[in-house]
């Protein structure tokens, strides 16, 4: 039997003429709102939601639905607030709002499926409410995707930090028990760095913990970049993984092969 689709309008009993939706995505500085929300929900639910430049997108009495971009056209509901006051613009925050407590059980748990094809970050909900499909209601607040398998590891610096800080067991166990060759991508310049975890006792976990601690992991070229820059623009991808019985030379040879194929000595951050 085919499952009938459920939409946001089926869940929220609101005056849809007053509702506007804020779509929070990675900003021009490379900051990922999903990673920020995990560490500080209020930063997204207030500062990002009510940020404004020279427009008046909200009015007193409007209802603001705050959605955060996830992978694969999914959006996480983080809050629903009624606008109570319009403020003079100060550091971009232009409004005050009162959270609608009746929808609190959905905050951080309700996942929406929606393909956003427009550029604007705020839209009137009336035109979208029957397009925002309710995909899932999580049993608890979202705290990161589960380990997807070694061939699908691709993380921003903030995602990797969250995994390590929260000690997400599935990720920790997976990274701690494998050696491997990995790729670091600078999303701003396109520069690449190929590295490996081949000889230590904690495998990929120990190596990647160093990047979270200082950003450079001891690499001379990466030391030339600020830690803030690395946090905003670096992504970590696993190219190949090996068990702990694999000879170190095999992994080093594969690391060298990837450096040659990707030309990271000439056009990236590798110098040897």
> DSSP string of 148-183?
--GGG-EEEHHHHHHHHHTT-HHHHHHHHT-EEEEE
In the predicted model, what is the mean pLDDT of residues 221-232?
Answer: 91
Measure the CA–CA gap between 117 and 124, rounded to whole angstroms.
15
At 65-82, the pLDDT tens digits run: 999 999 889 999 999 999
In the predicted model, what is the mean pLDDT of residues 50-59?
Answer: 82
In the predicted model, what is the mean pLDDT of residues 29-57?
Answer: 86
In the predicted model, what is the mean pLDDT of residues 225-242?
Answer: 93
In the predicted model, what is the mean pLDDT of residues 169-173?
Answer: 90
In the predicted model, what is the mean pLDDT of residues 172-187?
Answer: 94
Question: Is pLDDT of 35 > 90?
Answer: no
Question: Is pLDDT of 201 > 70?
Answer: no
Q: Which strand (E) or helix (H) includes residue 89?
A: strand 74-90
Question: Is pLDDT of 1 > 50?
Answer: no
Measure the CA–CA gap between 42 and 46, rounded to whole angstroms.
6
Question: Is pLDDT of 155 > 80?
Answer: yes
Secondary structure of residue 254 in the 3-state scheme: helix
Question: Is pLDDT of 28 > 80?
Answer: no
In the predicted model, what is the mean pLDDT of residues 51-59?
Answer: 81
Entry pTM: 0.64
Please name the residues in contact with 260: beta carbons below 8 A apart, sequence gap of 6 or more.
none
17 DSSP 8-state letter: G
At 243-264, the pLDDT tens digits run: 988 999 999 999 999 999 999 9
* Residue 54: predicted pLDDT: 66
- Domain segments of the chain as ranges: 8-137, 150-267
In the predicted model, what is the mean pLDDT of residues 57-71?
Answer: 94
Q: Which of 35-39, 121-125, 220-224, 235-239 has the lowest mean pLDDT?
A: 35-39
In the predicted model, what is the mean pLDDT of residues 196-210?
Answer: 85
User: What does each C-alpha distance from 2 to 5, 79, 112 come to in angstroms?
Assistant: 9, 31, 19
Measure the CA–CA gap between 144 and 66, rounded to whole angstroms.
18
CB 72 within 8 A of CB 108: no
Question: Is pLDDT of 2 > 60?
Answer: no
Domain 150-267 CATH class label: alpha beta
Looking at every residue in the chain, the average pLDDT score rounds to: 90
Measure the CA–CA gap between 225 and 236, rounded to whole angstroms.
16
* Residue 130: predicted pLDDT: 87
* Residue 129: predicted pLDDT: 86
Strands (E), 100-153: 110-113, 122-124, 133-137
The distance in angstroms from the start CA to the end CA of the chain is 59
Measure the CA–CA gap between 140 and 152, rounded to whole angstroms.
24
In the predicted model, what is the mean pLDDT of residues 93-119?
Answer: 94
């Amino acid at each position: 039997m085919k499952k009938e689709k459920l939409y946001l309008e089926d869940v929220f009993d609101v005056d849809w003429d007053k509702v506007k939706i804020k779509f929070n995505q990675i900003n021009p500085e490379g900051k990922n709102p999903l990673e920020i929300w995990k560490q500080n929900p209020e930063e997204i639910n207030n500062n990002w939601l009510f940020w404004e430049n020279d427009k008046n997108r909200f009015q007193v009495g409007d209802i603001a639905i705050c959605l955060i971009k996830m992978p694969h056209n999914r959006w996480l509901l983080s809050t629903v607030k009624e606008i109570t006051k319009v403020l003079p613009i100060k550091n971009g925050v232009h409004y005050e709002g009162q959270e609608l407590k009746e929808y609190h059980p959905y905050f951080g748990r309700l996942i929406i499926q929606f393909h956003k094809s427009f550029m604007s970050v705020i839209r009137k909900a009336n035109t979208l409410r029957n397009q925002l499909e309710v995909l899932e209601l999580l049993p608890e607040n979202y705290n990161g995707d589960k380990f997807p398998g070694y061939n699908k590891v691709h993380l921003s610096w903030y995602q990797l930090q969250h995994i390590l800080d929260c000690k997400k067991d599935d990720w920790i166990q997976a990274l701690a028990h494998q050696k491997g060759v990995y790729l670091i991508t600078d999303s701003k310049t396109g520069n690449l760095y190929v590295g490996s975890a081949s000889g230590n006792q904690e495998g990929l976990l120990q190596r990647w913990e160093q990047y979270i601690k200082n950003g450079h992991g001891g690499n001379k070229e990466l030391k030339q970049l600020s830690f803030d820059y690395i946090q905003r623009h670096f992504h970590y991808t696993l190219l190949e993984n090996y068990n702990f019985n694999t000879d170190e030379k095999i992994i080093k040879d594969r690391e060298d092969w990837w450096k040659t194929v990707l030309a990271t000595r000439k056009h990236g951050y590798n110098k040897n």
